[in-house]
C-alpha cells in the first residue's frame, strides 16, 4: 500500500527525513515511534504528497503522490493530522460535509455516511454545535470521523490520541484495530509507547529522521531483548538464590521476589525443576516479555551507545 | 483542469463564505466601515449642506463649486450654492472615497482566507485533500470576490438612494449614478478588485501574516482611487473612452495576475512551509 525507499526530505539546513525506507501493507497497522522532531509528521506529509521528497522514491497505492496521480492517491487516503485541522466556526456537521464533498462522497450518500461516522465516534449529539465549542476529545473524534467518511484504503494518523482522556483513547485505538481488520492499511505516528502496544503489526523507530530499527514487536523483542526474564517467588525466598549457580542464568537479583534472566526462554522449565529440586516451594513463576516502552528505550540506548 | 474542477472549487468557496458569515467579529467592522462610507457620512453631510441657511456659509459653498475646473462646473446641477455643492460632493468626493470599501472587503477576505487556513492549522486538511492547487486557488478567489462585488453592488445601491433622496429634490430629480459612475462601477472597479485579490492571494501564500498581505494590496488600491477621481470628475480627456480603456487594461492585468497567482498556492505553503 505504501512504499518508501531511501527517502530524503530537508527543510533548509535541517534534515527531516534521511534514507527512510518503509512498507505499509494492507490490513496492517504500522506504528512510527519516535520523540518530537523525529520526522514522523513529515513521513505522513510525504505519503499524501503534501510534501515532495528531495530524494528516494515514494509510492502509494502504486502511484506517485506528488505526480499527476496525486489526486487519486489523496482521494484514497484518510488523514488525521497532529492538529485536527478543523474549522472552528462551522458546526461538526458542516466540517464533515466539507470533508465528504472534497473527498467525492456521492451527494446521495453524504448524510448517511455522516450519520454513520458520527455514531461510530460518539459525536452524534454534538453535530449541530460549532466546533469551537468542542472539547479536545470531541475534536479528535470529529477529525477521525472526517478521515473515514470516504472509506479510505489508507489511514494516516498523526498522534490520533493526543489530548484524549484514557477512555476516549482506548475507544480510538479499538477503532483503529477494527479498521485494520477490515483490510485498511494504517500508518500511525505516536510518541506514546503504550498506545502502540498490542496494536502494531510493524514498529518503525525513528530518530532525527532516520530509521533506528524496524520490525514486528516480536522481532524487535528477540533482537533487543534476547534474555528471557522470569520473576519468581517462594515460601522461603532464600532458596531462590540457588538459581545463581545454574549455567543458563545470566543475572539474578532478589528484592522480595527474585528476577532471573536466562540465556534462552526455553530454559524456564529447567529453572523451575532446579529450584524445586533444591526444596523451594514456588508461589510465583512469571515469564516477562518487555513492554514496548522498555523495548523502545533498549533500542535507543543501543543506538546511542 | 478536469471536469470536476468547478465543483471542488465551489465547495471550497461555499465553505469559506459560510465561515465568513459565521465570523461576525470579522465582517462586522467591515460592514460598519461600509455603512459609514456609503450611508452615514454622506447622509449627514449632504442633509446639512442642503439645509444651510447661513449666508456666509452659502457663499463659501458657492465658492467651492466655483473652484472646480471649468469642465466640471458646467456639469454641476442645482440652482443654489448649497444644492450645487451637495451635487459636487455627492458625485466627485464621497463616491470615489467609497470605492475603497469593496476593495478593502475583498482584500481582507482574501488575505484571511489563505493565511487564516495556515494560522488556524486547517490548511493541512486542504493540503491532504484531493483538491488540486488550482481548485483551492479558484475556491479562495471566488470566496473573496463575492463579498467585494456584493459590497460594491449593495453599497453603491444604498449610496445612490441616499444622495438621490437628499440632494435629488434640490437638483431636479434623481441624478446618481451618473453615466461615468456606471462605467466605473460596472467596468473599472471589478477588474481592480480581481487584480487586488490576485496580488493579495499571491502574497498571502508567501507571507506569514494577513496584515502584510493587506498592506501590499494598497499598491493596487491607491491608483484606483486616483482613477476614480479622474474618471468620475471627467478631468481626464474624453473620460468615457479613457475609463473603458483603463477598465480593459485592468481586466487584462487581472487575468494575467490571476493566472500567475494561481501558481502561488502550493500544498507545502498550506502547511505553513515554503515560500
Q: Of B18, B23, B122, which has the smallest distance from its Cβ to A85's Cβ?
A: B122
pLDDT at B32: 92
Mean pLDDT for the stretch of residues A198-222: 83
Mean pLDDT of chain B: 82
Q: Which residue of B has its CA nearest to A51?
A: B268
Contacts of B22 in chain A (CB under 8 A): 89-90, 130
Closest C-alpha among A98, A111, A105 to residue A143:
A98
Q: Of A45, A89, A101, which has the smallest distance from its Cβ to B11's Cβ?
A: A101
DSSP, residue by residue, A171-204: HHHHHHHHHHHTT-EEEEEES-HHHHTTT-SEEE
Closest C-alpha among A119, A157, A128 to residue A140:
A157
Residue pair A63/A71 in contact (Cβ under 8 Å)? The answer is no
Q: What is the pTM of this model?
A: 0.81
Integer Rg of chain A from CA: 24
Q: Is residue B165 scored above 80 in pLDDT? A: yes
| Distance to chain B for A85, nearest Cα, Å | 4
| Calpha distance A278→A276 (Å, rounded) | 5
| Calpha distance A118→B135 (Å, rounded) | 28
Mean pLDDT for the stretch of residues B166-173: 88
| Calpha distance B103→B144 (Å, rounded) | 10
Q: Is residue B274 scored above 70 in pLDDT? A: no
DSSP, residue by residue, A256-291: SEEEEEES-GGGHHHHHHHHHHTT--EEEEEEEPPP
Residue pair B155/B105 in contact (Cβ under 8 Å)? The answer is no
For this complex, say whether ipTM is above 0.90. no
- Please name the residues in contact with A49: beta carbons below 8 A apart, sequence gap of 6 or more: A58, A60, A64, A65, A66, A70, A73, A74, B267
Instruction: Give Cα B131 to chain centroid, integer Å.
Output: 29
pLDDT at A10: 92
Query: CA A269 → CA A262, A264, A272, A285, B55, distances in Å?
Result: 11, 11, 5, 10, 118
Quick one: cell of A134?
468542542
Contacts of B132 in chain A (CB under 8 A): 71
Residue located via cell numbers 482506548: A170
| Calpha distance B177→A70 (Å, rounded) | 50
Mean pLDDT for the stretch of residues A268-286: 91
| Calpha distance B274→B202 (Å, rounded) | 13
| Calpha distance A187→A155 (Å, rounded) | 6
Task: Using pLDDT thresholds of 50, 70 and 90, give the confidence band for residue B2.
Answer: very low
User: What letter would DSSP give residue B69?
Assistant: -
Indicate the range of A46-50, A230-234, A285-289 predicted with least confidence: A285-289
Task: Using pLDDT thresholds of 50, 70 and 90, give the confidence band for residue A198.
Answer: confident
Give tens-digit pLDDT for B194-242.
888 888 877 777 776 666 766 766 676 777 777 777 766 666 545 678 8
Mean pLDDT for the stretch of residues B85-94: 83
Q: Is residue B6 scored above 80 in pLDDT? A: no
What is the pairing mode between strands A29-33 and A185-190?
Answer: parallel
Contacts of A103 in chain B (CB under 8 A): 129-130
pLDDT at A161: 83
> CA end-to-end span of chain A, whole Å?
35
Contact yes or no for A51 and B132 at CB 8 A: no
Mean pLDDT for the stretch of residues A121-145: 91
Q: Is residue A19 scored above 50 in pLDDT? A: yes
Q: Which residue of A has its CA nearest to B135?
A: A102
**What sections of chain A are H helices per DSSP?**
40-48, 70-75, 92-102, 110-120, 136-148, 166-181, 193-196, 217-224, 268-277, 292-304
Q: Is residue B4 scored above 60 in pLDDT? A: no
Contacts of B8 in chain A (CB under 8 A): 101-102
pLDDT at A199: 82
pLDDT at A110: 93
pLDDT at B160: 93
Q: Which run of H or of E encompasses B108? A: helix B100-120
> CA end-to-end span of chain B, whole Å?
24
| Calpha distance A268→A261 (Å, rounded) | 10
Amino acid at each position: 500500500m505504501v512504499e518508501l525507499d531511501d527517502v530524503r526530505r530537508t527543510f533548509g539546513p535541517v534534515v527531516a527525513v534521511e534514507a527512510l525506507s518503509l512498507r505499509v501493507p494492507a490490513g496492517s497497522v504500522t506504528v512510527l515511534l519516535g520523540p518530537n522532531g523525529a520526522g514522523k509528521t513529515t513521513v505522513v506529509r510525504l505519503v499524501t504528497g503534501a510534501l515532495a521528497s528531495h530524494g528516494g522514491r515514494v509510492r502509494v497505492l502504486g502511484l506517485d503522490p506528488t505526480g499527476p496521480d496525486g489526486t487519486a492517491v489523496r482521494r484514497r487516503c484518510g488523514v488525521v493530522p497532529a492538529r485536527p485541522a478543523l474549522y472552528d466556526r462551522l458546526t461538526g456537521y458542516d466540517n464533515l460535509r466539507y470533508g465528504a464533498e472534497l473527498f467525492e462522497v456521492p451527494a446521495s450518500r453524504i448524510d448517511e455516511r455522516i450519520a454513520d461516522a458520527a455514531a461510530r465516534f460518539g459525536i452524534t449529539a454534538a453535530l449541530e454545535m460549532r466546533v469551537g465549542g468542542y472539547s479536545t476529545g470531541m475534536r479528535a473524534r470529529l477529525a477521525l470521523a472526517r478521515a473515514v467518511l470516504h472509506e479510505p484504503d489508507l489511514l494516516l494518523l498523526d498522534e490520533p490520541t493526543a489530548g484524549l482522556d484514557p477512555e476516549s483513547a482506548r475507544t480510538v485505538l479499538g477503532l483503529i484495530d477494527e479498521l485494520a481488520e477490515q483490510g485498511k492499511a494504517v500508518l500511525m505516528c505516536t510518541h506514546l509507547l503504550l498506545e502502540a502496544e498490542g496494536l502494531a503489526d510493524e514498529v518503525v523507530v525513528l530518530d532525527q529522521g532516520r530509521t533506528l530499527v524496524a520490525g514486528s514487536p516480536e522481532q524487535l523483542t528477540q533482537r533487543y531483548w534476547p534474555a528471557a526474564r522470569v520473576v519468581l517467588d517462594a515460601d522461603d525466598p532464600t532458596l531462590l538464590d540457588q538459581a545463581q549457580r545454574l549455567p543458563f542464568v545470566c543475572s539474578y537479583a532478589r528484592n522480595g521476589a527474585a528476577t532471573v534472566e536466562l540465556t534462552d526462554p526455553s530454559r524456564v522449565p529447567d529453572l523451575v525443576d532446579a529450584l524445586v529440586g533444591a526444596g523451594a516451594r514456588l508461589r510465583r513463576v512469571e515469564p516477562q516479555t518487555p513492554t514496548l516502552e522498555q523495548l523502545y528505550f533498549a533500542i535507543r540506548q543501543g543506538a546511542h551507545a | 483542469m478536469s471536469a470536476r474542477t468547478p465543483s471542488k472549487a465551489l465547495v471550497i468557496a461555499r465553505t469559506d463564505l459560510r465561515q465568513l458569515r459565521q465570523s461576525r467579529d470579522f465582517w462586522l467592522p467591515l460592514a460598519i466601515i461600509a455603512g459609514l462610507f456609503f450611508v452615514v457620512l454622506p447622509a449627514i453631510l449632504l442633509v446639512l449642506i442642503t439645509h444651510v441657511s447661513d449666508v456666509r456659509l452659502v457663499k463659501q459653498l458657492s465658492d467651492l463649486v466655483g473652484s472646480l475646473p471649468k469642465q466640471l462646473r458646467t456639469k454641476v446641477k442645482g440652482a443654489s450654492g448649497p444644492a450645487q455643492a451637495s451635487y459636487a460632493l455627492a458625485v466627485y468626493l464621497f463616491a470615489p472615497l467609497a470605492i475603497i470599501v469593496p476593495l478593502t472587503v475583498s482584500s481582507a477576505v482574501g488575505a484571511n482566507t489563505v493565511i487564516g487556513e495556515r494560522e488556524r492549522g486547517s490548511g493541512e486538511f486542504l493540503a491532504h485533500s484531493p483538491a488540486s492547487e488550482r481548485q483551492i486557488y479558484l475556491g479562495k478567489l471566488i470566496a473573496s470576490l463575492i463579498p467585494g462585488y456584493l459590497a460594491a453592488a449593495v453599497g453603491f445601491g444604498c449610496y445612490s438612494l441616499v444622495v438621490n433622496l437628499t440632494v435629488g429634490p434640490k437638483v431636479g430629480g434623481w441624478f446618481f449614478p451618473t453615466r461615468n459612475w456606471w462605467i466605473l462601477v460596472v467596468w473599472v472597479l471589478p477588474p481592480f478588485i480581481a487584480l487586488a485579490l490576485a496580488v493579495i492571494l499571491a502574497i498571502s501564500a508567501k507571507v506569514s501574516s494577513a496584515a502584510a498581505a493587506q498592506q501590499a494590496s494598497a499598491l493596487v488600491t491607491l491608483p484606483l482611487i486616483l482613477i476614480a477621481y479622474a474618471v468620475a470628475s471627467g478631468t481626464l480627456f474624453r473620460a468615457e473612452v479613457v475609463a473603458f480603456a483603463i477598465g480593459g487594461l485592468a481586466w487584462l492585468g487581472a487575468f494575467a495576475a490571476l493566472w500567475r497567482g494561481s501558481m502561488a498556492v502550493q500544498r507545502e505553503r498550506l502547511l505553513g512551509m515554503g515560500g
